[in-house]
C-alpha cells in the first residue's frame, strides 16, 4: 500500500450526495494520495440493536461499485461484530486507521466511533497525536435538512423517486438474480423478470413503477420497464417480490441472471382486480403511461 493515503470513514449506504462531497473534499485536500474508504458490514445497528436496524439502500457489492465510481481507490470493509462494538476509540484508531498510514482522515462533522459512540471528531484529533490530520466536513443539505441515508429510505418507502434523486443524484437501484415466478405474466403477454426480496434490503411501497432494467453480468443497454412491487393480490399471492416487464420484449432469457432495476416514478398503488381480464386491461394502460413517462425522462 502507498505510504500516503487519505481515509474517509462511514457506512456509505446508498453513497448519496453527502458521501460524495466527503470524498470530493478528501481528494481535494490530498490530491496525490490514494483515497481509501473505510466502511462497515453489516450495518452496526443490526449488531447493536437488531430491532432498530434500517433497511439498506444497497448491497455491499453495489456500495463498493458506487464508491469506486465516486473516485475511491480502495474500499476497506470492516466486518462489524459484537466484539468490535465494544472497542474503545483508541483501539479503533490503532487497529483500523494507523495501519492505513493516513496523511489525513476526513469524516462528517457528526462522526462518532468507539464503544457507545464515545468518540467524536475532537477525540479522533487527540488520538491522532499529530501523526495524521483530522478534517471534519459539514453535512450537505438540500437547503433545509442534511442529505442522509435515512431520508432516502423514507423517500424509497413512499415511492418518491424524484426526492430520491434530489438527495442522492442517482436512481434507486434494486438488484438481484432473476428467479422463476408463476409464469402468469408470460401467459398475459407481459413476461416479467422476478427478483426475490432479500431481508434487510430497502424496497419501495407496493405498487407499479416506471423504470429501467440492466443486466449486470455483461455489458448491457438500459431497457425501459414496467415494474411491479407486491404480492400479486389478484391471485392471492403472499410472497413479496419485485417484477419487471421490459417494454415490447418477450425474447429475453434472464433466469439466473443478475439484473439491476432502476426506479424512476410511481404510477399507481397495488390493486386487487376481479380477474385476469381486468388486470390485463389495466396492465396495457400502465404500459402506455410508463412509456410516456420514460420518454420524457
Per-residue pLDDT of the chain (297 residues; tens, 9 = 90+): 446 899 999 999 999 999 999 999 999 999 999 999 999 999 999 999 999 999 999 999 999 999 999 999 999 999 999 999 999 999 999 999 999 999 999 999 999 999 999 999 999 999 999 999 999 999 887 667 777 999 999 999 999 999 999 888 889 999 999 998 765 555 566 899 999 888 899 999 999 999 999 999 999 999 999 999 987 654 455 578 899 999 999 899 899 999 999 999 999 998 776 667 888 888 999 999 999 999 988
| Residue where one domain finishes, among candidates 83, 112, 137 | 137
Domain shared by 203 and 128, yes or no: no
What strands, in cross-sheet order, belong to the sheet with 102-108?
A: 74-79, 34-41, 5-9, 102-108, 133-137
In a domain, 178, yes or no: yes
Domain shared by 11 and 127, yes or no: yes
Domain shared by 99 and 182, yes or no: no
Domain shared by 207 and 93, yes or no: no
Relative to beta strand 133-137, strand 241-246 is: unpaired
Domain shared by 99 and 10, yes or no: yes
In a domain, 89, yes or no: yes
Set of cell numbers at residue 230? 407486491
Domain shared by 131 and 13, yes or no: yes
The Cα 213–Cα 18 span in angstroms is 27
Domain shared by 95 and 31, yes or no: yes
Residue 266: per-residue pLDDT: 96
| Residue where one domain finishes, among candidates 88, 115, 137 | 137
Q: Kindly give the interhelix angle for 161-168 and 149-158, rounded to the nearest 10 degrees.
A: 160
Q: Per DSSP, what are the bridge partners of residue 134? A: 105
Q: What is the CATH number of the domain that holds 273?
A: 2.40.30.30
The Cα 220–Cα 189 span in angstroms is 23
Residue 20: per-residue pLDDT: 94
| Residue where one domain finishes, among candidates 111, 137, 163 | 137
In a domain, 155, yes or no: no
Residue 2: per-residue pLDDT: 46
In a domain, 195, yes or no: yes
Domain shared by 96 and 215, yes or no: no
Domain shared by 41 and 119, yes or no: yes
Residue 227: per-residue pLDDT: 97
The Cα 42–Cα 253 span in angstroms is 33
Q: What is the CATH number of the domain that holds 58?
A: 3.40.50.620
Q: Write down the pTM of the prediction.
A: 0.89
The Cα 246–Cα 193 span in angstroms is 8
Residue 31: per-residue pLDDT: 94
Domain shared by 180 and 127, yes or no: no
List % helix, strand, coil for the chain (3-state, nearest 5). Answer: 35, 30, 35
Domain shared by 43 and 100, yes or no: yes
Residue 250: per-residue pLDDT: 87
In a domain, 43, yes or no: yes
In a domain, 176, yes or no: yes
Closest CA to 8 of 103, 148, 141: 103
Domain shared by 214 and 291, yes or no: yes
CB atoms within 10 A of CB 169: 12
The Cα 133–Cα 254 span in angstroms is 49
Set of cell numbers at residue 207? 405498487
Q: Is 105 helix (H, G, I), strand (E, B) or coil?
A: strand
Q: Mark out the alpha helices in 86-227 (DSSP H runs).
A: 89-92, 121-128, 149-158, 161-168, 184-187
In a domain, 144, yes or no: no
Domain count, the chain: 2
Residue 1: per-residue pLDDT: 45
In a domain, 142, yes or no: no
Q: Is 263 helix (H, G, I), strand (E, B) or coil?
A: strand
Provide the domain limits for residue 103. Answer: 5-137
Amino acid at each position: 500500500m502507498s505510504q500516503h493515503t487519505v481515509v474517509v470513514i462511514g457506512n456509505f449506504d446508498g453513497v448519496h450526495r453527502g458521501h460524495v462531497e466527503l470524498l470530493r473534499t478528501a481528494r481535494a485536500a490530498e490530491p496525490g494520495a490514494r483515497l481509501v474508504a473505510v466502511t462497515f458490514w453489516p450495518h452496526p445497528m443490526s449488531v447493536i440493536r437488531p430491532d432498530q436496524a434500517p433497511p439498506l439502500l444497497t448491497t455491499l457489492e453495489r456500495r463498493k461499485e458506487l464508491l469506486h465510481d465516486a473516485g475511491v481507490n480502495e474500499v476497506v470493509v470492516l466486518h462489524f461484530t459484537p466484539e468490535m462494538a465494544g472497542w474503545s476509540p483508541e483501539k479503533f484508531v490503532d487497529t483500523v486507521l494507523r495501519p492505513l498510514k493516513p496523511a489525513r482522515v476526513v469524516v462528517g462533522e457528526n462522526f462518532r466511533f468507539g464503544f457507545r459512540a464515545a468518540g467524536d471528531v475532537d477525540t479522533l484529533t487527540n488520538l491522532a497525536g499529530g501523526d495524521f490530520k483530522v478534517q471534519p466536513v459539514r453535512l450537505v443539505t438540500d437547503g433545509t435538512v442534511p442529505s442522509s441515508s435515512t431520508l432516502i429510505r423514507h423517500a424509497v418507502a413512499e415511492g418518491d423517486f424524484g426526492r430520491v434523486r434530489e438527495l442522492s443524484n442517482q436512481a434507486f437501484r434494486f438488484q438481484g438474480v432473476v428467479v422463476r415466478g408463476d409464469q402468469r405474466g408470460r401467459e398475459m403477454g407481459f413476461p416479467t423478470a422476478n427478483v426475490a426480496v432479500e431481508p434487510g434490503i430497502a424496497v419501495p411501497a407496493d405498487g407499479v413503477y416506471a423504470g429501467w432494467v440492466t443486466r449486470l453480468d455483461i455489458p448491457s443497454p438500459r431497457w425501459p420497464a414496467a415494474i411491479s412491487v407486491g404480492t400479486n393480490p389478484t391471485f392471492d399471492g403472499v410472497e413479496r417480490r419485485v417484477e419487471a416487464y421490459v417494454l415490447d420484449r418477450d425474447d429475453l432469457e434472464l433466469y439466473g441472471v443478475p439484473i439491476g432495476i432502476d426506479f424512476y416514478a410511481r404510477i399507481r398503488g397495488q390493486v386487487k382486480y376481479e380477474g385476469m381480464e381486468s388486470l390485463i386491461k389495466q396492465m396495457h394502460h400502465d404500459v402506455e403511461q410508463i412509456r410516456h413517462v420514460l420518454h420524457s425522462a
